[in-house]
Amino acid sequence: MTATAAAPPDAQTFRRYVDGDHRPVVWQDEIFKAGASHKCPAYVHKASPCQGACPSGHDVRGWLAIVRGQDIPPDGLAWQEYAFRRLTLANPFPAVMGRVCPAPCEDACNRNELDDHVGINSVEHFIGDWALANQVAFPKPVAETGRQVAVVGGGPAGLSAAYHLRRRGHTVTLFDDHDALGGMLRYGIPGYRTPRPVLDAEIKRILGLGVGVRLNTRVGRDITIEDLERDFDAIFWALGTQAGKTLPIPGADAANCITGVEFLRAFNEGRLRSVSGEVVVIGGGDTSLDVAAVARRLGHVTQSHDKDRPSSAMLGQIAHDVATTARRKGADVTLTSIFPIDRMMAAAREVEAVQREGVEIRGGVMPLEVLKDDMGRVKGLRLCRCEMDGMTPIPVDGTTFDLPCQLLVIAIGQTGDLGDLKALDNGQGLINADRQQAVPGRSGHFVGGDIVRPGLMTAAIGQGRIAADSIDQFLAGRPPARRSKVDGPRFDLAARLEAVGRAPTTVDHPTRGTDTAGFAVHNYEDRSAHEIIPHEALFLGHFPPTARHHRREREVAGDQVLGDFGERLSPLAEAEAAAEAKRCMSCGLCIECDNCVVFCPQQAVARVPKAERMMGRYVETDYILCIGCHVCHDVCPTGYIQMGLGE
């Protein structure tokens, strides 16, 4: 009878000590080391990796501390609303982004080194839905500045900028050339991923701050740049990327060869109700997966007229009524990518979902030619296997094959549509920006979102926030402030002390802080603007492995997907959200575990008196008793205690 071998001790990376540390050592060596140990505990605040990885600048650790009950809300305020207020300091779309954000914060989570990342996205989803259900509104600005800002584009970047500018009291007017606001959140992502009532409610909450809106207005056609410069004190360009990229291969100009942007816009505007029988999507990113999933859900009509073709729907022509279109069957959809499936750019969860829904994915293949019939329409796609040299596909000889299709959708990227705004075009269909999101060479002009560089929607939201900061400084006549490495709202101990009337007194000369000085925060240093704490600095052995609380996901099988546009994700229950937040390790900030108090052999570390205690100011050190043994540092789970103050 055999038994499964346990993992070797050196594989358990969360252990601070290893087997053999109990053996006697040469005490002279240890005494010599102890003699050099002149450092005592310092409480060093560093940024968490989740915030460092979040393009919108979320203080993730901060609002998770509220959800798990460590950061207590003021009297009369529900913890859910308190968390919502903290969360929306960076991102005004928690209910939407909690559903669709690919969550780079979760990839960066230090808990991945222990068991599994914290479900940050799922907790955000819960908070966002709670705020909508309880009709939580944003507080109106305290004072009006009298300054006028034009925001051109009502997508995630434009709405984010409008929100942050309006909170500062500036008058904001949004210009958009569509019937409704939302940009790619509305016209690029299908409604089963961003339910329209949720999107509408979060946009309405931003407009409730007093943001003006002018729809169906295209700047450059209906109004000129000069008009905006005359009527407004600053302009923020958030045009998005409204045009899809095409492939430089023969036959790509066929009528039924369209871009992913065109496909999704036609679907989301209600013009596209069915697709052809065999559909091939070229891509590998999130947009291509949305195209493939929508095509599977639409299916194709069994009685087809010329005007029912998807290419006709792009032009706004629809022949069949709803009853006729309902007589359809599932489309055969194949998605191709130059990358192997496990290296595609799309989120793994979305890849698994579309495969489950019946989409065939062919990874590691590159398109060579679009095959046309006698009428000049697509009849197939010629491909070959490929290997990647960085981002360049290298064809493999002798591997050519054809895929038949009646519709070819190219979803390999997007670019701007600056035909009416050539003065802003950098030659690549985009607009240049500096680190402050200002347009170089155009005073008072700022830009953000995909029109700078196509990317994640959370990045567009973050650029809208940064641009609002820069515009605010510009309107005040101040030079733009230098952006910190960790760019976003962060925990601020000094501000918290000031808010409760315990701000440290100031002095006019530099001197060190000690445990008794009234001019300094006791042995505390804030490095969160420029340092992110790595997992090696934590004591992971403190945290027991705990399973992640997953959102319930409604799985749709391939034979049931036709016509199914219901939402797939369900939010966590309140208890589940709180339990998931408790898995957060509070990297870089005190978690109030009492390890340093319990294990200090000199009783040099003690809790701050309860009346003076708050987040980040939970323990203090008596330096007369401290011998610099480093035990508190060794047992600190979050890496908050560093050894210093002695050099």
Is there a domain that residue 34 lies in? no
Is there a domain that residue 23 lies in? no
pLDDT attached to residue 242: 85
> Can you read off the two tokens belonging to residue 629?
């043994």
Within 8 A by CB and 6+ apart from 28, the residues are: none
**Domain stop point among 415, 431, 451:** 415
Shared domain for 270 and 400, answered yes or no, is yes
Is there a domain that residue 483 lies in? no
Shared domain for 236 and 262, answered yes or no, is no
Residue 469, domain extent:
148-242+416-475
Is there a domain that residue 383 lies in? yes
Alpha carbon distances (Å) from 144 to 162, 228, 235: 14, 21, 18
Shared domain for 466 and 497, answered yes or no, is no
Shared domain for 458 and 496, answered yes or no, is no
pLDDT attached to residue 185: 93
Q: Confirm if 409 and 293 have CB atoms less than 8 A apart.
A: no
**DSSP characters over 43-101:** EEE-B-HHHHH-TT---HHHHHHHHTTSSPPPTT--HHHHHHHHHTTT-S-HHHHHHH-
Is there a domain that residue 275 lies in? yes
pLDDT attached to residue 304: 46
Shared domain for 108 and 217, answered yes or no, is no
Range with the poorest average pLDDT among 149-163, 294-308, 343-357, 598-612: 294-308
**Domain stop point among 379, 395, 415:** 415
Is there a domain that residue 16 lies in? no
Shared domain for 396 and 437, answered yes or no, is no
Alpha carbon distances (Å) from 207 to 19, 84, 316: 61, 18, 30
Confidence of residue 646 (pLDDT cuts 50, 70, 90): low
- Mean pLDDT computed over 558-584: 89
Shared domain for 423 and 545, answered yes or no, is no
Confidence of residue 610 (pLDDT cuts 50, 70, 90): confident
Shared domain for 386 and 425, answered yes or no, is no
Shared domain for 536 and 589, answered yes or no, is yes
Is the pLDDT assigned to residue 327 strictly greater than 90? no
> What's the whole-model pTM score?
0.86
Range with the poorest average pLDDT among 14-28, 311-325, 406-420: 311-325
pLDDT attached to residue 14: 52
- Mean pLDDT computed over 308-313: 49
**Domain stop point among 386, 415, 444:** 415
Shared domain for 567 and 503, answered yes or no, is yes
Query: Over the stretch 495-549, which tens digit does the pLDDT of each residue have?
Result: 888 887 777 776 665 555 555 666 666 688 899 999 999 999 999 999 999 999 9
Report which of 170, 91, 184, 183 is spatially closest to residue 131, judged by C-alpha positions.
Answer: 91
Shared domain for 317 and 429, answered yes or no, is no
Instruction: Report the DSSP pairing between strands 332-337 and 278-282.
Output: parallel
Is there a domain that residue 2 lies in? no
pLDDT attached to residue 167: 97
Is the pLDDT assigned to residue 20 strictly greater than 90? no
- Mean pLDDT computed over 51-71: 95
pLDDT attached to residue 305: 46
Query: Over the stretch 133-178, which tens digit does the pLDDT of each residue have?
Result: 999 999 999 999 999 999 999 999 999 999 999 999 999 999 999 9
pLDDT attached to residue 512: 55
Is there a domain that residue 341 lies in? yes
pLDDT attached to residue 475: 97
Is the pLDDT assigned to residue 276 strictly greater than 90? no
Q: What is the CATH number of the domain that holds 331?
A: 3.50.50.60
- Mean pLDDT computed over 352-357: 90
Residue of 525 and 448 predicted with greater confidence: 448
pLDDT attached to residue 620: 87
Shared domain for 455 and 404, answered yes or no, is no
pLDDT attached to residue 243: 85
pLDDT attached to residue 317: 37
pLDDT attached to residue 419: 87
Average pLDDT along the chain: 87
Counting the structural domains of the chain, the total is 3
Is the pLDDT assigned to residue 320 strictly greater than 50? no
